[in-house]
Amino acid sequence: MITFYVIIISLGALGAICAVLIATVLHLSRKLAKQSYQLQHGLQNLRYEMNTKLYPLEKSFYTQIHGSEEIVYDGRAFVDANDFTGNGALAWDYVAHRFAGGKGEGSHEIKDNVITVSRSNTAGRYELYLKHFVFDGVNCSTVPASTSQDIRRFRLTCEVKKQNASHSLRFVFKGEDSKEVLDEKDYVVFNPDWEKVELHFWVSAKEASIFRIDDLCVLEAPSAVQIRNLVLMEKK
């Protein structure tokens, strides 16, 4: 009988030890996840700071190029619900050089010509794909390849603001077949009021490309970022 009670007590002690170990592991996991997020957020802000120093130079170079601009997407007067599709995705870990972490959770809504990306978590990213362009009078779902030029030059303007927390937006041109990033620009939205954005892109015309806006490095959730008056122009 004494042996039986000893076994029961031993099992109880073992269970308590296991509970403490599990709690410790969970605590460390949450701590590491938080540190990893803070590192990624810090790297994203550093990337943004480095890029913004180049943006004025890119604008100066773009304006010196002779040619006229043609609007290939205009979201100032009307934004159709079918102009954009969206989905959650994993974020790229610049430290590990791979996709990592949890998948971004959220949704987007278009109301009164304002695009709102709402996030329910801080992990991953939310991808917003622009699916309507007009090139030479033809409606397209992607940026078409061109045999008459090697590089397409684009200027993007819009207004953005945050709701509840800062968000990082990444504007990306990506090869439809190669899946390679052809050009991308980052913009961190700190302002709760509308602020103007102007970005310039140089995109290979050798293959068709997609254009998307990534919402990533969300500081808090739930929160949202809003975009309006999005215009994409090509300098011919």
Q: Which percentage of the chain shows pLDDT scores above 90?
A: 66
In angstroms, the CA 64 to CA 115 distance is 32
3-state DSSP assignment of residue 175: strand
CATH class of 45-235: mainly beta
In angstroms, the CA 228 to CA 14 distance is 59
Model confidence pLDDT, tens digit, residues 176-232: 999 999 999 999 999 999 999 999 999 999 999 999 999 998 989 999 999 999 999
Residue 217 — left, alpha, or beta (φ > 0 → left; ψ -120 to 50 → alpha)? left
Own/partner long-range contacts of 52-59 (Cβ < 8 Å, ≥24 apart): 55/185, 55/198, 55/199, 55/200, 58/200, 59/198, 59/200
- Return the higher-pLDDT residue of 109 and 54: 109
Query: pLDDT at position 29, please?
Result: 37
10 Å CB burial of residue 194 (0-12, 13-18, 19+) is middle
Residue 137 — left, alpha, or beta (φ > 0 → left; ψ -120 to 50 → alpha)? left
Residues 6+ apart with CB under 8 A from 194: 159, 160, 161, 228
Query: pLDDT at position 97, please?
Result: 82
Model confidence pLDDT, tens digit, residues 87-136: 999 998 777 788 888 999 999 999 999 999 999 999 999 999 999 999 99
- Return the higher-pLDDT residue of 64 and 115: 115
Q: What's the pLDDT band for 37 if we cut at 50, 70, 90?
A: low
Q: Report the greatest alpha carbon distance in the chain.
A: 96
